[in-house]
Amino acid sequence: MKFLIKHEIQGRLRIHVMRNRMTCEEADALCWALEKQKNITKVKVYERTADAVIYYTGNRKELLCD
């Protein structure tokens, strides 16, 4: 899945999935897959804009490489 990091601060990323819109099923699947990762504490997916906000702990590099 291709995505673009729109904004980031320590402990939070806002990403944009490279598509115009997501269905509710796609948004749920993305949220489920992200929440299973070990350093991610909270995820909010916006299906209309195909954005997601990811709250995490630890190192950013570890998060993006997994």
Domain positions in the chain are 3-65
**Is 3-65 assigned to CATH 3.30.70.100?**
yes
Per-residue pLDDT for 66 more than 70? no
The average pLDDT across 7-33 equals 93
Rounded-to-integer distance, Cα 63 and Cα 66, Å = 6
Least Cα distance to 44 among 36, 54, 34, 35 occurs for 54
Residue 60 pLDDT greater than 90, yes or no:
no
Give residue-wise pLDDT tens across range 20-31: 888 999 999 999
pLDDT bracket for residue 11 (50, 70, 90):
very high
